[in-house]
Amino acid sequence: MHPDLEKLISLHDLDVMIKDLGRADILQEEVRLGLSPDAAVGELKTIREQLSSSIGKRWLALYGQICVRYGNAVVPVVMQRCTGCLTRLPTAVYSADDRNEQVRTCPTCGRIIYWAD
Ligand SMILES: [Zn+2]
């Protein structure tokens, strides 16, 4: 897998976790478990900073642009479809030999796509 693609997937996971910690139901669960939500968010943000500083500027900028438009900027390809917009990908994209060896975007919605298999 392309190193930046792997990091972009992790960055997206972190952003989802940070966002989830702001949700009331998850917040209550954290409190019930005796965890400090602020500390958890702070820790995740530190990890996010370290991770994002190691991602190529070009891809980080692209990720930021997609995040402005969509909640999910990095999505897996399932059944030859982009799971962001559900459009079937062109044959040249989904049958490529180097699937995850490049950072690719969905030709329809522009989200960063990857193959999880
Ligand atoms: Zn798409």
pLDDT digits (tens, 9 = 90+) for 53-70: 999 999 999 999 999 999
pTM for this one? Answer: 0.85
| Å from CA of 53 to ligand 1 middle | 26
pLDDT over threshold 80, residue 22:
no
Number of domains into which the chain is organized? 1
| Å from CA of 15 to ligand 1 middle | 19
| Å from CA of 107 to ligand 1 middle | 7
Token pair, residue 58, equals 């070009």
Supply the mean pLDDT for the chain: 90
Is residue 74 within 8 A of residue 112, CB to CB? The reply is yes
Q: What is the pLDDT averaged over residues 87-94?
A: 91
Rounded Cα distance between 27 and 35, Å, is 9
Helix axes 37-53, 3-20, angle to 10 degrees: 160
Domain coverage including residue 106: 3-115
| Å from CA of 31 to ligand 1 middle | 37
Domain at 17, CATH number: 1.10.287.1490
